[in-house]
Amino acid sequence: MIRELSLINSRLDGRYDIQDLLGRGSYAEIYVARDNVAAPTSPHKMVVVKALNVFMQNDLDPDLERTLVENFQNEAIALDRVRHPNIISRLGHGTARDLRGMVFHYLVLEYLAGGDLQRATREKSLNFRSSYNYLEQVCAGLAHAHQHGVIHRDIKPQNILLTGDRLTAKIADFGVARFSASDSPITRVGTNIYAPPEHSPMLSPDGRHYEVAELTPAADIYSLAKTAYVLFTGESPRIFANRPVTELPYACRQEPWARDFLEIVGKATRTDPRERHPDVYEFWKDFARLKPFTLSDEGEIRTQVSTRTAATPKAHVARGYTPLAPQRPDFNTSKELKIQNNPVLKNPAVVVKIDNAAPLNRFGTPPTGNFPIAPPVSNELAAERPPVVVSGAGPIYQTEPETPRRRRGFLRKFAIYVIVLASFTGLLFATHSYLRGKGLIPEFKNPFAKPTGVAVSDVNLRIAGDPDSQKIGLVPKNSRVRIVNSKDNWYEIDVTEFGRPKDSPTDAEHGWVNKRYIDVDN
């Protein structure tokens, strides 16, 4: 019997309104939610909540549960380690009980409204140039992941998601990702037609394919090439499952790019991983030869070949991206939470029906006072009133409604308090201004204010404090910046005012620059 979570039309952690179920796997459920704390114009107003439901199946045992929890936590760690403009970002996490009291862990991910590349190819909405741009972005994200020791192991069109404007592609679903330095045995994962032979779930080590003991980027390169096949031909590589691509669909064979394309994907899908491209950069170096075939705005093929080869795939930064990751999760199993003997979780998120949820204040939490959800009451009252939700402090109970007379008395006292406080504050401010004008007291500066400065020349904005890290924008000369962090010879900054209009509208406004290019204000 499947035990699904009860989350629809509920508010999670006082901020996420669960609206709909997007999908369900063997042990995870994916929901779309509205973040009530995010600003109305925030690109993260809508989010994805991925909930781990270890009780969904009847075959749960302690070892399996620990494996599921560890994999779920490793997915969050992998996402944070490979944070990149073309990889889906993790926004948060938590542990909670659903409306029926079932415990679950969850991750909060960014919501990408443009669908996946599989859907885009079915809709026939991709031309050569858009396919080329998407593949470049995927290569940029995947190369970054490999540089940080993470192998995705399930690259396919369904796991490449698009932003709402369909300008940015992001790699999603790191649920089976592994760290290349791990000593764990290589398990067979992935979708049959995209998985490389050495990791294919269809095959066993019986001599029918090349067997490897080490996890390398070659596995992802194989799946990347099969994904490129779908992007550029619009057809599934099903006939080439577990074997190299040796030909293109008939409709594509006469295209001017067909010969070079077939040579590249043929090499990337060879059975022996050692015969494929050694890394994503080498794959993209070959693929960049097809750039002259991208379409112009008029739909004509460009005949002029660029003299500069794009050997490094370029990332595309969408609005709302930040390289800063949230706090690292530390999920426990049900035994460690002691949920069988203790009905109260340790610091859980609150889940309530939206119809009964408190309106949120500007801090994103239910306001205190008149709303009928209050802190715990005495044991005598607890015996008479039913609990509303479970929190880390214990059951929360409904309070008696306030009478209109009590409410008016409270408002009158509150108004008098505000008037007295405002008068006293105004008197202090006037006195301070007068004495400072006479030079009797010095001017005080806010010790908590972030230092500011100005760029003394054009300087590259990078994703990390490292000259070899990814460039994500340009800070023009005379731009005003706010310094939020400092490390060695680098400042982490927010650009508050550009010295001249951006060279590219996609340039980021937050990142790292070398200190010598910033003149810090006194």
Q: What is the DSSP string of 161-192?
A: EE-TTS--EEE---TT-EETT--S-----S-T
Say yes or no: 349 and 471 in one domain.
no
Give whichever of 36-50, 61-75, 294-308, 391-405 has the largest mean pLDDT: 36-50
The answer to whether residue 24 sits within a structural domain is: yes
pLDDT at 25: 83
Q: What is the CATH number of the domain that holds 499?
A: 2.30.30.40
pLDDT greater than 50 at residue 493: yes
Token readout for 315 is 């990332």
Instruction: Tell me the angle at which helices 218-233 and 258-268 cross, rounded to the nearest 10 degrees.
Output: 150
Chain position carrying tokens 């949820």: 357
pLDDT greater than 70 at residue 151: yes
Q: Lowest-pLDDT range, 54-68, 168-182, 426-440?
A: 426-440
Token readout for 134 is 């998407």
pLDDT at 426: 82
Say yes or no: 279 and 154 in one domain.
yes
pLDDT at 87: 97
Nearest to 464, CA basis, from 476, 456, 472: 472
Say yes or no: 241 and 138 in one domain.
yes
pLDDT at 190: 53
Say yes or no: 239 and 345 in one domain.
no
The answer to whether residue 490 sits within a structural domain is: yes
Structural domain containing residue 179: 117-293
Say yes or no: 149 and 175 in one domain.
yes
Q: Tell me the C-alpha distance between 389 and 100, whole Å.
A: 10
Q: How confident is the model at residue 414 (pLDDT cuts 50, 70, 90)?
A: confident
Say yes or no: 168 and 283 in one domain.
yes
Question: What sign results for the dihedral spanned by CA atoms 5, 10, 15, 17?
Answer: positive
Say yes or no: 216 and 87 in one domain.
no
pLDDT at 393: 30
Residue 483 near residue 520 (C-beta atoms within 8 A): yes
Q: Tell me the C-alpha distance between 294 and 283, whole Å.
A: 18
Number of domains making up the chain: 4
Residue range 31-50: mean pLDDT, rounded: 94
Higher-scoring residue by pLDDT: 504, 133: 133
Give whichever of 220-224, 381-385, 395-399, 499-503 has the largest mean pLDDT: 220-224
pLDDT greater than 50 at residue 511: yes
Q: Lowest-pLDDT range, 78-92, 191-205, 256-270?
A: 191-205
The answer to whether residue 387 sits within a structural domain is: no
Residue range 332-357: mean pLDDT, rounded: 60
pLDDT at 86: 97
Q: How far apart are the first and last CA of the chain?
A: 67
Q: Tell me the C-alpha distance between 69 and 105, whole Å.
A: 8
pLDDT at 213: 56
Residue range 265-291: mean pLDDT, rounded: 95
Say yes or no: 40 and 171 in one domain.
no
The answer to whether residue 309 sits within a structural domain is: no
Q: How far is CA 436 from CA 424, 430, 440, in A?
A: 18, 10, 6
Higher-scoring residue by pLDDT: 433, 27: 27
Say yes or no: 60 and 128 in one domain.
no
Residue 283 near residue 224 (C-beta atoms within 8 A): yes
pLDDT at 342: 46
Q: How confident is the model at residue 374 (pLDDT cuts 50, 70, 90)?
A: very low
Q: What is the pTM for the complete model shown?
A: 0.65
For residue 247, the tally of other CB atoms under 10 A from its CB is 12
pLDDT digit string, tens, across residues 155-203: 999 999 999 999 999 999 998 888 765 545 555 555 678 988 887 655 5
Question: For the chain, what is the mean pLDDT?
Answer: 80
Q: Residue-wise over 342-361: b if at least 16 C-beta within 10 A, else e?
A: eebbeebbbbbeeeebbebe
Token readout for 380 is 């005598």
Residue 30 near residue 22 (C-beta atoms within 8 A): yes
Token readout for 20 is 């709909």
Say yes or no: 254 and 123 in one domain.
yes
Token readout for 207 is 């001599």
pLDDT greater than 90 at residue 148: yes
pLDDT at 407: 64
Q: Tell me the C-alpha distance between 24 and 51, whole Å.
A: 10
Amino acid at 24: R
Say yes or no: 104 and 123 in one domain.
no
Say yes or no: 103 and 27 in one domain.
yes
For residue 177, the tally of other CB atoms under 10 A from its CB is 23
Longest CA pairwise span in the chain (Å): 92
Answer with the one of 444, 474, 507 that is the final residue of a domain: 444
Residue range 26-50: mean pLDDT, rounded: 93
The answer to whether residue 207 sits within a structural domain is: yes
Token readout for 101 is 């009291």
